Amino acid sequence: MLDWLILGGGVHGTAICNHLLRRGRVQRDRIRVLDPHDEPLARWHACTRNTGMPFLRSPVAHHLDVQPAALHHFAETEVPDHRFTRPYRRPTCSDATATR
C-alpha cells in the first residue's frame, strides 16, 4: 500500500518526492511518482533544450535537493567544466548536466 502518490515528475513533483525521501518522511516502497515519461524532469529538460535556455533563473542555492550546497557540490565533483554565471551564481544549462 502506498502512503504517497505524486502526480507528475516535473519540478514540483520531483522536489516533493525528494524532500519526503531525504527527510525520512516516507519509505521508498511507500511512494510513487506517476508520470508518462521514463525520467524525472523529462519535459523540463526538453523545454530548456528547445528554448536554448543558457542558465537557470535562480542562483546556485535554489535547487531540488534538501541540502543547501548540494548543487554546488555536484558541479564540483561530477561536472568538471561547471560554470556559475556572475554576479548571481546561476548554474548554466547544458546537455552534459541536463541528462544527469
- Domain of 75? 54-100
Nearest to 17 by CA among 3, 29, 32: 32
Distance from C-alpha of 98 to C-alpha of 90, rounded to nearest angstrom = 15
* pLDDT tens track, the chain, 100 positions: 999 999 999 999 999 999 999 999 999 999 999 999 999 999 988 998 899 887 777 777 778 888 888 877 777 777 666 666 666 677 777 543 443 3
For residue 70, the model assigns a pLDDT of: 83
For residue 76, the model assigns a pLDDT of: 74
Query: 98 with 63, same domain?
Result: yes
For residue 71, the model assigns a pLDDT of: 78
Query: 49 with 60, same domain?
Result: no
Query: 26 with 72, same domain?
Result: no
State how many domains the chain has.
Answer: 2
Please name every residue paired with 90 in a beta bridge, in sequence order, or none if there are none. 85
For residue 67, the model assigns a pLDDT of: 86
Query: 26 with 62, same domain?
Result: no
pTM above 0.95, yes or no: no
For residue 62, the model assigns a pLDDT of: 76
Query: 83 with 60, same domain?
Result: yes
Query: 60 with 90, same domain?
Result: yes
Query: 86 with 100, same domain?
Result: yes
